[in-house]
Amino acid sequence: MPAPCGLAAKAAISQPVPAAPPGHGHRGVRTVPKELHRMAAKRCTAMPPGPILLLVLALLPPGPAAPCSPQPNATRFVCTEPTLRSLPAGLPRTTLAISVEFTALSALPPSALLPVPRLQELHLSSNRLASLPAALLRPAPALRVLDLTNNLLSDLPADTFSSSQRLQHLVLRENRLRALRPAWFQHLPRLLWLDLGSNALAELPPGAFRPLRSLRSLDLSRNLLAALGPGALAGLGALERLDLEGNRLLTLPPAAFAPAPALRLLFLQENGLQELPPRIFLPLHHLRVLDLARNRLRALELPPPGPGPALELDLAGNPWHCGCALRALLRSAAPLLSAAADTRCASPAHRRGQEVAALSGAGGCEDNGDGQQPPGP
């Protein structure tokens, strides 16, 4: 047996195996088991050096691969590697969708999308982005979907979306936005879905959404809005869904929803609404869902009955005054109360604790001057 054979085998087999990255099946340093050592040493006496080296190499685990390596000619790139800190280089020009989510990505260079001019979807949710370059989206004029959910964005450059005329879905929820820039929306005529929920917005600039003539859904839930000023919804003639849940609204202007006559779903729950202006819902002939739960309302306003299914109405968690006016309104509108068992009267005294739903089927109501029905016998 040639001497180098035994030396090479012993040297190679005794080398420690480097620790693999998390998720690759083993931790720390590992050496080849003694049985394999004896096997390789025994075969070394009967085999030439070439096969021995092949055997040793076969026993060694492969080295760690680079996380989230782009594939040539691929149309999608997906990465959820928690340790990723920068967008990988080498994305092919064929890429149509990028999804880099739940990573440590904290910054993007202005040239990040230069290699992918055909990009249509960019999903960057649950990262650590605190800012975006003004020129980031310019190399991708075909972009239709941008999701920036759950980052650290407190502001965006005024011209961030100046080259995104084809954008249809924009999600900015769960960031730290404190104010809206009307310039963001100047070049988004095709936008259908805008989600600004769970930020720190305290007001809506008048006419900020006016350029969004195609918008169908607007989510402003879980912000700090204390008022909905005149003109806040101007230009939203195509809007079908508006979510204002979980803000600090105490009242609404009489014509608040007049610019959005196509509304079908309106969510106003969990605010501080104490009173609704008369006929505030009159322009909403297509309304099908109205959520007024968990406010401080005592009197009710409803849209006029329209064709189609009955209005789905949530009135739970309000101190309703169950006088003649409320009973008459419920009988005429005949809404479908979605939380009937939790919707109870707070006044008058003889109605306290009764379910509001039961009143709509009650008999006549005699007004004693204060809108209350006299106590029964």
Summarised one tens digit per residue, pLDDT across range 269-292 is: 999 999 999 999 999 999 999 999
Q: What is the pLDDT of residue 328?
A: 87
232: left (phi over 0), alpha (psi -120 to 50) or beta: alpha
Positive or negative: CA dihedral 235, 237, 240, 246 = positive
Q: What is the DSSP letter of 183?
A: G
Q: Which position has the higher pLDDT, 26 or 128?
A: 128
Residues 6+ apart with CB under 8 A from 339: 293, 314, 315, 316
| Cross-strand bridge partners of residue 79 | 100
356 band by pLDDT with thresholds 50, 70 and 90: confident
Compute the average pLDDT of residues 39-48.
41
Could you tell me which of 179, 177, 146, 150 has the C-alpha nearest to residue 163?
A: 146
Residue 223: pLDDT above 60?
yes
Is the per-residue pLDDT at 114 higher than 50?
yes
Instruction: Give the Cα separation of 142 and 96 in Å (integer).
Output: 9
- Which H or E element spans position 5? helix 3-13
Q: Is residue 332 within 8 Å of 361, Cβ to Cβ?
A: no
Q: Cα–Cα distance between 150 and 144 in angstroms, integer?
A: 19
User: In the predicted model, what is the mean pLDDT of the chain?
Assistant: 83
**Percent of the chain at pLDDT exceeding 90:** 66
pLDDT in tens, 289-332: 999 999 999 999 998 887 788 899 999 999 999 999 898 888 88
316-321-327 Cα angle (round to 5): 90
CB 241 within 8 A of CB 264: yes
Query: pLDDT band at residue 8, thresholds of 50, 70 and 90?
Result: very low
Most confident of 65-79, 215-229, 359-373: 215-229
E strands within 196-247? 217-219, 241-243
Check pLDDT > 70 for residue 146: yes
The model's confidence at residue 339, banded by pLDDT at 50, 70 and 90, is confident
How far is it, in rounded angstroms, from Cα 123 to Cα 233? 28
Q: What is the CA radius of gyration of the chain?
A: 32
Strand 121-123 relative to strand 145-147: parallel, antiparallel, unpaired?
parallel
Q: Are strands 217-219 and 241-243 parallel, antiparallel or unpaired?
A: parallel
Q: Which candidate, 375, 342, 377, 368, places its Cα nearest to that of 356?
A: 342
Mean pLDDT of 75-93: 95
Task: Reply yes or no: is the peptide bond before residue 348 cis, omega within 30 of 0.
Answer: yes
- Which two tokens mark 87? 């967008």
Predicted pLDDT at 207: 95
Q: Which two tokens stand for residue 22?
A: 């998390």
Return the pLDDT at 367. Answer: 53
For residues 374 and 275, give the distance between their C-alpha atoms in angstroms, rounded to a whole number: 24
Q: Per-residue pLDDT for 32 more than 70?
A: no
